[in-house]
């Protein structure tokens, strides 16, 4: 076992002495040493309760015959970091999370890992670490929060508090109503209650084979969530004894299964970034084109908030991800032969799962749409691709042509929207917000939510080289590549240029000739990096991060 490098032999007596100082026994050190990576903190609602999950995991590890050793991982709440300088950091923190887990794991020679996370960048950061380290590992989430209630109806952070900001700005609701909504939107701990990035990634972990069935949808307050954590703790010891490693599980077929599930449930557009990044660490060749290829043949059978009226708790009651996967396997869309952390195949994991509500999880021949929830667009505005959550786009906006309203930062665009300067038919361009240009590829949830709150979601599109929250709905096209800071065409746009969006045909173009674009490019001056803290991590990140079209991973060719 890996841990023998620090626990066995006469030369490791000093190492054992340090363990004895903490109360561990010789018997403890003879068992598999399991790193329990706990992303608990007091600043993220999805992580506030993870100490309880960690305690259940450690009980499971001990019951399975291992010795649990807990250590922390950082996390940032995207909602709290939104719409200010803090939003430069969440995506960049994904790499920090993976790097720190690598450092502690190798430094202490753990035999296996239980990764406990829940929210947006923490989940992929942990799975990236598992793929990179390739020692037995299992992921367990803290689970989704329950929806809030406001004036007799379900609500949540996005459909409640964020969209209410736009409604208040346009005079549709009062300040008292806005505050009442903010106090009602998030009633429990857990990841936010819709099919946003956190919950999407927690669901996709099941399809990837790295999490136990139920990981994506069992609500955070339920006892079943702790029971699942306990089973994860027991299972990791079994994985160590059988030497089953993440790269045996996270194969190309497993990533295709995850993408298929993503399309079927209408998941967050951020999953494109994260699956590409995890595949990179697993040494699996996955391309942006794979997403659109799968989207073209997989129907969208779940319409969850923000794209629909249902929430994660509804999906759980309808049978959960196991029921969705079983339906997809029966339809020949998912490869059920892939291996999972249960020690069984994906098909064996879900064979007894039944759909309990055919509106929440529709039959394959009665989908909400015949193609998947995400589309990849290309054209002279996005030669390397752009991503849109088409499941959340109003029918009227699937094709659109309008004048560009060009802004060089999220702040400029948000100020214009809140100031009533955006008109019906406009295409809001937010550039220099990509991985390098941001830096950190900020989410544009505040601008898109305000557009919806003002009732303009069927009239206005927003295009950016940044990205969007999983809670974003509407004609919001992100990940435009190459980004403006790299001299991409989005950086050459001028006010009033006519933008053509055709989501069914996967096209994103500007009505400007190639000659004109070339002339503009010849005059383009690479912008100075945005002001950051002296010697900031963001400077190093901006220097090394790659394009969104490749997952915004860090360069390793230096």
- If asked whether residues 425 and 499 sit together in one domain, one would say yes
Q: pTM of the full predicted structure? A: 0.94
Token digits of residue 431: 């550039």
**Would you say residue 470 lies in a domain?**
yes
Side-chain-side CA neighbours of 59 within 13 Å: the count stands at 12
Measuring CA to CA, how many Å separate 78 from each of 83, 134, 387? 10, 28, 20
Spatial strand order of the sheet with 137-141 comes to: 67-72, 33-38, 112-117, 137-141
Residue 533 is predicted with a pLDDT of 65
Q: Kindly tell me the sign of the dihedral angle through the C-alpha atoms of 526, 528, 529, 535.
A: positive
- Start-end of H helices in 441-548: 445-453, 514-523, 537-544
How do residues 383-405 score in pLDDT, each as one tens digit?
Answer: 999 999 998 898 999 999 999 99
Residue 532 is predicted with a pLDDT of 65
Token digits of residue 191: 């990841």
| Catalytic annotation, pick one of 269, 322, 469, 547 | 469
DSSP letters spanning 304-354:
BTTTSSB-HHHHHHTTHHHHHHHHHHHTT-S-TT-B-TTSSBHHHHHTT--
Share of the chain above pLDDT 70, in %: 99
**Would you say residue 185 lies in a domain?**
no
- If asked whether residues 345 and 204 sit together in one domain, one would say yes
**Would you say residue 98 lies in a domain?**
yes
Cis peptide preceding 439, ω within 30 of 0: yes
How do residues 435-462 score in pLDDT, each as one tens digit?
Answer: 999 999 998 888 888 888 888 889 999 9
Residue 412 has pLDDT above 70, yes or no: yes
Residue 515 has pLDDT above 70, yes or no: yes
- If asked whether residues 264 and 411 sit together in one domain, one would say no
How do residues 128-162 score in pLDDT, each as one tens digit?
Answer: 999 999 999 999 999 999 999 999 888 988 888 88
* CATH code for the domain in which residue 121 is found: 3.40.50.2300
Residue 534 is predicted with a pLDDT of 66
**For residues 68-85, average pLDDT:** 93
Q: How far apart are CA 220 and CA 224, in angstroms?
A: 9
Which residue, among 191, 184, 213, has the nearest Cα to 79 in the 3D structure? 191
**Would you say residue 539 lies in a domain?**
yes
Instruction: Write out the residue range of the structural domain in which residue 316 sits.
Output: 31-156+191-350
Q: Give the rounded distance of the alpha carbon of 299 from its chain centre.
A: 21
Q: How many domains does the chain have?
A: 2
Q: Name the average pLDDT for the chain.
A: 94
Residue 339 is predicted with a pLDDT of 97
- If asked whether residues 424 and 513 sit together in one domain, one would say yes
Residue 403 is predicted with a pLDDT of 97
Per the CB < 8 A criterion, the answer to whether 1 and 32 are in contact is: yes
- If asked whether residues 405 and 346 sit together in one domain, one would say no
User: In terms of DSSP bridges, do strands 33-38 and 67-72 run parallel, antiparallel, or are they unpaired?
Assistant: parallel
What's the pLDDT band for 85 if we cut at 50, 70, 90?
Answer: confident
What's the pLDDT band for 18 if we cut at 50, 70, 90?
Answer: very high
Q: How far apart are CA 510 and CA 89, in angstroms?
A: 31
- If asked whether residues 332 and 416 sit together in one domain, one would say no
Last residue of a domain, one of 315, 350, 385: 350
**Would you say residue 181 lies in a domain?**
no
**For residues 472-499, average pLDDT:** 94
SS3 content of the chain, % helix, strand, coil (to 5): 45, 15, 40
Residue 228 has pLDDT above 80, yes or no: yes
How do residues 330-366 score in pLDDT, each as one tens digit?
Answer: 999 999 999 999 999 999 999 999 999 999 999 999 9
What's the pLDDT band for 429 if we cut at 50, 70, 90?
Answer: very high
Measuring CA to CA, how many Å separate 359 from each of 37, 315, 329, 546? 37, 10, 19, 40
**For residues 230-250, average pLDDT:** 98
- φ, ψ (nearest 5 deg) of residue 122: -70, -40
469 an active-site residue? yes
- If asked whether residues 398 and 334 sit together in one domain, one would say no
**For residues 474-494, average pLDDT:** 95
Q: How far apart are CA 357 and CA 80, in angstroms?
A: 34
Per the CB < 8 A criterion, the answer to whether 112 and 66 are in contact is: yes
**For residues 482-496, average pLDDT:** 96
Minimum mean pLDDT range among 76-90, 140-154, 526-540: 526-540
- If asked whether residues 427 and 542 sit together in one domain, one would say yes
- If asked whether residues 312 and 449 sit together in one domain, one would say no
User: E strands within 381-450?
Assistant: 382-388, 399-407, 427-430
- If asked whether residues 338 and 388 sit together in one domain, one would say no
- If asked whether residues 407 and 490 sit together in one domain, one would say yes
**Would you say residue 60 lies in a domain?**
yes
- If asked whether residues 298 and 428 sit together in one domain, one would say no
Residue 531 is predicted with a pLDDT of 64
* CATH code for the domain in which residue 405 is found: 3.50.30.80
Per the CB < 8 A criterion, the answer to whether 167 and 173 are in contact is: yes
């Amino acid at each position: 076992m890996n841990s023998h490098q620090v626990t066995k032999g006469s030369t490791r007596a000093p190492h054992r002495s340090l363990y004895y100082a903490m109360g561990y026994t010789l018997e403890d050190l003879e068992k598999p040493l399991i790193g329990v990576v706990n992303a608990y903190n007091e600043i993220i609602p999805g992580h506030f309760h993870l100490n309880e999950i960690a305690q259940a995991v450690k009980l499971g590890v001990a019951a399975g015959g291992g010795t649990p050793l807990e250590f922390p991982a950082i996390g940032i709440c995207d909602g709290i970091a939104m719409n200010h300088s803090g939003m430069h950091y969440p995506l960049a923190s994904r790499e920090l999370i993976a790097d720190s887990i690598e450092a502690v794991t190798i430094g202490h020679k753990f035999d296996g890992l239980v990764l406990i996370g829940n929210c947006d960048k923490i989940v992929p950061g942990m799975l990236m670490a598992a793929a990179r380290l390739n020692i037995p590992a299992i992921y367990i989430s803290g689970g989704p929060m329950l929806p809030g209630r406001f004036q007799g109806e379900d609500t949540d952070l996005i459909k409640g508090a964020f969209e209410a900001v736009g409604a208040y700005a346009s005079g549709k609701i009062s300040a008292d109503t806005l505050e009442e909504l903010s106090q009602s939107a998030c009633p429990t701990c857990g990841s936010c209650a819709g099919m946003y990035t956190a919950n999407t990634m927690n669901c996709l972990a099941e399809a990837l084979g790295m999490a136990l069935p139920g990981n994506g949808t069992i609500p955070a307050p339920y006892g079943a969530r702790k029971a699942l954590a306990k089973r994860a703790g027991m299972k990791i010891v079994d994985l160590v004894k059988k030497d089953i490693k993440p790269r045996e599980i996270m194969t190309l077929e497993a990533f295709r299964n995850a993408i298929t599930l993503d399309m079927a449930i209408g998941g967050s557009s951020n999953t494109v970034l994260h699956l590409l990044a995890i595949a990179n660490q697993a040494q699996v060749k996955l391309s942006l084109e794979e997403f659109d290829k799968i989207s073209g043949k997989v129907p969208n059978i779940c319409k969850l908030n923000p794209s629909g009226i249902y929430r994660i708790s509804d999906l759980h009651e309808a049978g959960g991800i196991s029921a969705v996967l079983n339906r997809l396997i029966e339809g020949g869309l998912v490869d059920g032969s892939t291996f999972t952390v249960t020690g069984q195949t994906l098909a064996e994991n879900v064979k007894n799962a039944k759909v309990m509500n055919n509106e929440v999880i529709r039959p394959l021949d009665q989908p909400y749409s015949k193609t998947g929830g995400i589309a990849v667009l290309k054209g002279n505005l996005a030669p390397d691709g752009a991503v849109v959550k088409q499941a959340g786009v109003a029918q009227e906006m699937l094709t659109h042509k309008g004048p560009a309203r060009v802004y060089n930062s999220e702040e400029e665009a948000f100020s214009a929207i809140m100031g009533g300067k955006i008109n019906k038919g406009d295409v809001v361009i937010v550039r220099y917000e990509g991985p390098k240009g941001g830096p950190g590829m900020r989410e544009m949830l505040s601008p898109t939510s305000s557009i919806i709150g003002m009732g303009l979601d069927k009239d206005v599109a927003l295009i950016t080289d940044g990205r969007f929250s999983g809670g974003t709905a509407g004609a919001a096209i992100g990940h435009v590549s190459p980004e403006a800071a790299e001299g991409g065409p989005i950086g050459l746009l001028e006010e009033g240029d006519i933008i053509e969006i055709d989501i069914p045909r996967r096209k994103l173009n500007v009505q400007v000739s190639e000659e004109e674009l070339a002339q503009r490019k010849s005059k383009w001056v690479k912008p100075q990096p945005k002001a950051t803290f002296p010697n900031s991590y963001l400077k190093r990140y901006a220097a090394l991060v790659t394009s969104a079209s490749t997952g915004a991973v860090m360069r390793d060719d230096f």
